[in-house]
């Protein structure tokens, strides 16, 4: 029988971050991950990437898990958003908030490898991968997990960090609010004729939203093309030449001719919001608790901060000699992170609807709105702070060093 304090199901970006963030709390953790990453660094950057903001970077650096492969990081210092067929455009930069950059585009698999290396070097984490639970139970006194290979593990808290289709959430059944975005996201790595100048760009075109995220190579971007599912299907099936043409034009030829470099993948998009983020002896973090539209590139940032907030809450309870599995103790985490997730979900919904309106004058009104916003330095500062992830109540591990 293996006994730890926290049993984490799911060793993705959020689950591993939670395990690492427990390092100074005196708590031990077991991480159960179903898949074994192959450790391979592909020549062409993988098409699953995340825009990691400053708050998340600070956290990952503190945990010793910021990816070492500096040559694969795509720093960006400017953001530009515009609407096709209108004169609306907003542009803001790191300079507006006296920072060298707004964030980095990081390949998810490289970040997971870096988290794993840090976890392997930590004395308080036991990794079980590849492994799956055949039984999970959260009782009054403790939690119990039986792995498929027969290994029994006991703990004081069970955490679901097992992604959007969380089996922990399914079993505990806290209730789920969900709706379809009527969008799928096509992701790919591309080459652009023009250099990206470390600028993240996004265009709204009717029902479609297309983002170009700058990679380390000045002529490579990762794209996220959110569009109705049937259009995503069509774009996935096109041959490379037809796709390159459609892509270059959909982006107003802003980056010149574009050329797809690797496989294309289409991911259905659905909003999810668990009615509870915790209960007696259990908690949910990351996509297991919420999934949001990728248009603001904030999903994993939200999850990483869940992990830091839960670790901080557990650390405080432990320091007071309390029981980390008690619902009363976990409620602080729930109030804190539910509010952040609900705000982001609402903002994404509002943006998607605003740009989806098809009335004849709508582009003009939106253009005016974006134009006015772009001329107000204070408002642009707020946008830049949101991009950095430094607004709102930050867990201690994500706060900048005080001089
Ligand atoms: C197209 C797209 C673009 C995005 N871009 C961005 C972006 O730019 N910035 C950003 O912040 N976010 C972005 N996101 C969101 C981000 O990818 C997710 O929020 C993030 O990956 C969630 O991390 P997670 O660890 O919670 O879940 P996951 O990444 O889903 O990890 C869950 C882990 O649990 C494991 N697992 C699942 N079930 C079990 C089980 N029963 N037993 C054991 N292990 C299990 C899985 O193998 C997996 O490793 C994007 C999302 C999409 C779809």
Q: Which fold has domain 2-177+270-398?
A: FAD/NAD(P)-binding domain (3.50.50)
In this structure, the residue with its CA closest to atom 17 of ligand 1 is: 300
Please tell me the distance between residue 208's alpha carbon and the centre of ligand 1 in angstroms: 23
Sign of CA dihedral 30, 31, 37, 42: negative
Please tell me the distance between residue 287's alpha carbon and the centre of ligand 1 in angstroms: 6
Please tell me the distance between residue 286's alpha carbon and the centre of ligand 1 in angstroms: 8
Burial class from Cβ neighbours inside 10 Å (0-12, 13-18, 19+) for residue 265 reads middle
Which ligand 1 atom sits nearest the alpha carbon of residue 302? 11
Strand-pairing partners, residue 31, are 8, 127
How far apart (Å, rounded) are the C-alpha atoms in residues 161 and 164?
A: 9
User: Could you tell me which of 54, 48, 90, 92 has the C-alpha nearest to residue 75?
Assistant: 54
Residue 39's SS3 state is coil
In this structure, the residue with its CA closest to atom 18 of ligand 1 is: 300
Which ligand 1 atom sits nearest the alpha carbon of residue 16? 25
Residues 6+ apart with CB under 8 A from 335: none
How far apart (Å, rounded) are the C-alpha atoms in residues 159 and 6?
A: 7
User: Could you tell me which of 300, 337, 331 has the C-alpha nearest to residue 316?
Assistant: 331
pLDDT per residue rounded down to tens, the chain (403 residues): 899 999 999 999 999 999 999 999 999 999 999 998 888 889 999 999 999 999 999 999 999 999 976 789 999 999 998 888 777 788 889 998 899 999 999 999 999 999 999 999 999 999 999 999 999 999 999 999 999 999 999 999 999 999 999 999 999 999 999 999 899 999 999 999 999 999 999 998 888 999 999 999 999 999 999 999 999 999 999 999 999 999 999 999 999 999 999 999 999 999 999 999 999 999 999 999 999 999 888 899 999 999 999 999 999 999 999 999 999 999 999 999 999 999 888 887 777 776 665 555 566 556 666 666 666 677 667 777 878 888 888 999 999 887 6
Return the domain boundaries, the chain: 2-177+270-398
Buried b (16+ CB within 10 A) or exposed e, 199-235: bbbbbbbeebbbbbbbbbbebbbbbbbbbeeebbebb
User: Are 219 and 170 contacting, i.e. CB atoms less than 8 angstroms apart?
Assistant: no
Residue 109's SS3 state is helix
Which ligand 1 atom sits nearest the alpha carbon of residue 166? 38
Which ligand 1 atom sits nearest the alpha carbon of residue 161? 26
Query: Which phi-psi region, left, alpha or beta, contains residue 212 (left: φ > 0; alpha: ψ -120 to 50)?
Result: beta
Q: How far is CA 360 from CA 206, 252, 356, 357, 366, in A?
A: 12, 21, 12, 9, 11
Please tell me the distance between residue 190's alpha carbon and the centre of ligand 1 in angstroms: 22
Please tell me the distance between residue 371's alpha carbon and the centre of ligand 1 in angstroms: 35
Pairing, β 6-9 against β 157-160 = parallel
How far apart (Å, rounded) are the C-alpha atoms in residues 134 and 261?
A: 40
DSSP string, 347-385: HHHHHHHHHH---TTHHHHHHHHHHHHHT-HHHHHHHHH
Which ligand 1 atom sits nearest the alpha carbon of residue 13? 25
User: Are 260 and 244 contacting, i.e. CB atoms less than 8 angstroms apart?
Assistant: yes
Predicted TM-score of the model (pTM): 0.94
Q: Which of 21, 151, 163 for a ligand 1 pocket mutation test, highest count of atoms within 8 Å of Cβ?
A: 163
**What pLDDT is recorded for position 132?**
97
Residue 131's SS3 state is coil
Please tell me the distance between residue 164's alpha carbon and the centre of ligand 1 in angstroms: 7
**E-assigned strands of 74-193?**
74-76, 78-83, 89-93, 103-107, 125-128, 133-138, 143-147, 152-155, 157-160, 176-192
Strand-pairing partners, residue 190, are 221, 260
Question: Measuring from each residue's beta carbon to the nearest atom of ligand 1, which residues come in under 6 Å?
Answer: 9-15, 32-35, 50-51, 132, 161-163, 167, 185, 187, 224, 267, 286-287, 294, 297-301, 303
Residue 358 has which token pair?
């098809």
User: Are 370 and 89 contacting, i.e. CB atoms less than 8 angstroms apart?
Assistant: yes
Q: Which of 7, 8, 9, 10 for a ligand 1 pocket mutation test, highest count of atoms within 8 Å of Cβ?
A: 10
CA 113 from centroid of its chain's CA atoms: 16
Q: Which of 287, 291, 348 for a ligand 1 pocket mutation test, highest count of atoms within 8 Å of Cβ?
A: 287
């Amino acid at each position: 029988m293996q006994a730890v304090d926290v049993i984490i199901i799911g060793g993705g970006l959020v689950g591993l971050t939670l395990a690492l963030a427990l390092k100074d709390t005196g708590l031990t953790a077991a991480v159960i991950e179903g898949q074994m990453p192959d450790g391979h660094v592909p020549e062409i950057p993988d098409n699953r990437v995340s825009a990691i903001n400053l708050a998340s970077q600070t956290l990952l650096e503190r945990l010793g898990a910021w990816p070492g492969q500096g040559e694969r990081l795509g720093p960006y210092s400017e953001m530009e958003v515009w609407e096709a067929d209108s004169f609306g455009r907003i542009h803001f930069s790191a300079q507006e908030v006296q920072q060298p950059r707004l964030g980095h585009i990081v390949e998810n698999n490289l970040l997971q490898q870096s988290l794993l290396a840090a976890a392997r070097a930590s004395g308080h984490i036991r990794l079980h991968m590849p492994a799956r639970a055949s039984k999970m139970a959260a009782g009054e006194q403790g939690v119990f997990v039986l792995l498929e290979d027969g290994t029994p593990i006991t703990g004081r808290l069970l955490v679901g960090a097992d992604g959007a289709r969380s089996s922990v959430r399914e079993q505990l059944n806290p209730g789920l609010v969900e709706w379809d975005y009527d969008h799928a996201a096509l992701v790919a790595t591309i080459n652009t004729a023009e250099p990206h100048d470390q600028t993240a760009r996004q265009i709204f075109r009717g029902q479609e939203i297309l983002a170009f995220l700058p990679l380390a190579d000045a002529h490579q971007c990762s794209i996220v093309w959110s569009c109705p599912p049937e259009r995503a299907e069509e774009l996935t099936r096109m041959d490379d030449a037809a796709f390159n043409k459609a892509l270059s034009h959909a982006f107003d030829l802003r980056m010149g001719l574009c050329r797809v470099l690797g496989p294309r993948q289409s991911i259905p998009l659905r909003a999810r919001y668990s009615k509870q983020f915790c209960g007696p002896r259990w908690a949910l973090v990351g996509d297991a608790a919420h999934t949001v539209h990728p248009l603001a590139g904030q999903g994993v940032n939200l999850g990483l901060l869940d992990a830091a907030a839960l670790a901080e809450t557990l650390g405080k309870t432990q320091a007071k000699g309390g029981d980390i599995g008690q619902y009363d103790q976990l409620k602080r985490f729930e109030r804190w992170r539910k509010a952040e997730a609900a705000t982001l979900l609402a903002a994404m919904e509002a943006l998607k609807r605003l740009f989806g309106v098809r009335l004849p004058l709508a582009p003009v009104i939106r253009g005016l709105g974006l134009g006015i916003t772009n001329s107000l330095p204070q408002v642009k500062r707020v946008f830049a702070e949101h991009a950095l992830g430094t607004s709102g109540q930050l867990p201690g591990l994500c706060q900048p060093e005080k001089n």
